[in-house]
Amino acid sequence: DVPGMVRRLVAVLSDGEVAALSRKWSASPLRVATVCSGTDAPILGLDMLRDALYARSGRHKIGIEHVFSCEKVKFKRDFVAATTRPALLFQDVTEVAQGEGMCHDGVRRLVPEHFNVLIAGTECVDFSSLSTAPKGLRGGGRSAITFWATLELAKARTPAVVLLENVATCPARDMEQAFAEAGYVAAHTKVCTSDYLLPQSRSRCYFLFLLAGKARFLPSSSEETWIHTMKRLGPRRPSFPEEIPLRWTDFLLEESDTPTAPTGKKKGRRGKPLSESLGSKWLAEVQAIEEKEGLQKYGEPGGRPYSDATAHVAALASLPDRAKMRLDVQCKRALQAGIDPLTVPLLWNPAQQLRFTDAGFGTDGRPRPLAPCVTPKHEWVVSARRAPLRGAEALALQGIRVPWEALAKFDEKQLRDLAGNAMSTTVAAAALLATFLTAELVEERRSSSEKRAASTDDEQGQGVKRSRIVGVLL
């Protein structure tokens, strides 16, 4: 119940706070643009937040117009088109920054000129601690390119509010400085998804930028107030008596609940013959862990317990031997701790080196309640299922639930990729709520010429205005 999670964020607020922000931010519809959109999770979060605020106040419902979205990867644009349905869906943020770009339908269109809020999840691969070739903000990689394009878009269209998300290891001070030089007041804070009701250990950096002359902090607020409010809604949020923390296993689906999706292309290989793997560097990794932790040796009887138990499981058949070796080590770790991973679900990542991961339980011998960070290339294995975590489950761990008919258009790899690139909806909703609480738009009323220009923007977007997403969230 992701909408229920957002309602719990709103429950932190007093009646006076809800009434004041609802009245202030519903004065005119919010015109929102999203770039590097992925799943457009912030729009899903904003829609749930708007409903939660209205349910609490009973009046002053915030209007939302999703004027355009932008996503480079085609199947992700397909996902956005099937779910949030923005008025315009562009292909490339570097084109959008220049004022005109190719849309998803193959037609070039002008970028709308008037919108209040820009939300961006610029690429993070070059800033990630997992990157094998990290690059800085001026390193020329995709992370830098999409960041600078987003900044150029902000300079050209001057939205009052910009919300930006990236990995916790991004060059935050440099990113703040770049927006400050463009006339924005900047604030940022590091957050973890698990503090916002979703059971996933996902550390991210969120930025708020307010354009001088168009938006400002309230007289009683400042950059520090926004950061404090993010903490108030997250790690410092009071718990309610009926609140039961969710575990990642609560997001697992029954087989009958899984949509029928395209299978996609499978490599069909089983890795190198085991005789070759036994002499490879992967075995050296395994042997080092076995020696250090006192585990049964891989080449001895009982040394491959998970491989033996899953020898005829089709879902794991195409894994390379190095992945199977790692699963065996994780299984032996669990058995040594007194946990049977074939009956107790643990979450394992066979693509990651053993020294960087654990077997899914803590030093107290209990299974971890939080899932590790969902990444685009992940293929987590649920030990008791003897199969990977499904794409729909990975999306759910990000707070994204969509109709089965939409999910069925994408294969498992695509769904996992979508989940790994997404913002967590509850965190995005919290960042927006913190903004509503601490800031205000200066230009609440536009001139008649601006209104005519905005009307023209809508006509270019085929006249589509969205005030609500219908049937997207379950």
Going by C-alpha positions, the residue among 388, 450, 35, 2 that lies closest to residue 197 is 2
pLDDT at 129: 64
Of the candidate ranges 213-217, 222-226, 457-461, the one whose mean pLDDT is the lowest: 457-461
pLDDT at 87: 95
Residue 467 has pLDDT above 50, yes or no: no
pLDDT tens per residue across span 116-148: 999 998 877 766 766 566 677 777 778 888 999
CA–CA gap between residue 144 and residue 28 (Å, rounded): 34
Under the banding of pLDDT at 50, 70 and 90, the label for residue 63 is very high
CA–CA gap between residue 376 and residue 251 (Å, rounded): 18
Residue 269 has pLDDT above 50, yes or no: no
Average pLDDT over residues 277-294: 79
pLDDT tens per residue across span 83-92: 999 999 999 9
pLDDT tens per residue across span 374-392: 988 788 999 999 999 999 9
Q: Give the 3-state secondary structure of residue 440.
A: strand
pLDDT at 333: 95
- pTM for this entry: 0.88
Give me the helices (H) in 337-462, please. 391-397, 404-407, 412-421, 425-438, 448-460
CA–CA gap between residue 217 and residue 151 (Å, rounded): 21
Number of helices and strands in the chain (H, E): 18, 14
In this structure, what are the phi and psi dihedrals at residue 30, rounded to the nearest 5 degrees? -80, 125
Under the banding of pLDDT at 50, 70 and 90, the label for residue 299 is confident
Going by C-alpha positions, the residue among 201, 199, 192, 204 that lies closest to residue 231 is 192
Residue 21 Cα distances to 16, 43, 44, 91, angstroms: 9, 19, 20, 34
Q: Of 28-42, 165-179, 184-198, 397-411, which has the strongest mean pLDDT? A: 184-198
pLDDT at 461: 47
Average pLDDT score over the chain = 86
Question: Which class for 402: exposed (0-12), middle (13-18), buried (19 or more C-beta within 10 A)?
Answer: buried
Per-residue tokens: 304? 């491959």
pLDDT tens per residue across span 349-372: 988 888 878 899 998 889 999 999
Give percent above pLDDT 70 in the chain: 86
Under the banding of pLDDT at 50, 70 and 90, the label for residue 407 is confident
More confident residue, 276 or 474: 276
pLDDT at 298: 86
Of the candidate ranges 74-83, 209-218, 250-259, the one whose mean pLDDT is the lowest: 250-259
429 within 8 A of 6, measured Cβ to Cβ = yes
Going by C-alpha positions, the residue among 405, 378, 402 that lies closest to residue 390 is 378
pLDDT tens per residue across span 160-210: 999 999 999 899 999 999 999 999 999 999 999 999 999 999 999 999 999
Q: At what angle do helices 425-438 and 223-233 cross, to 10 degrees?
A: 140
Residue 68 has pLDDT above 80, yes or no: yes
CA–CA gap between residue 34 and residue 423 (Å, rounded): 12
209 within 8 A of 220, measured Cβ to Cβ = no
pLDDT at 322: 86
pLDDT tens per residue across span 306-352: 999 999 899 898 888 888 999 999 999 999 999 999 999 999 998 88
More confident residue, 215 or 277: 215
CA–CA gap between residue 113 and residue 155 (Å, rounded): 11
Average pLDDT over residues 252-278: 51
Would you give the DSSP letter of residue 11?
A: T
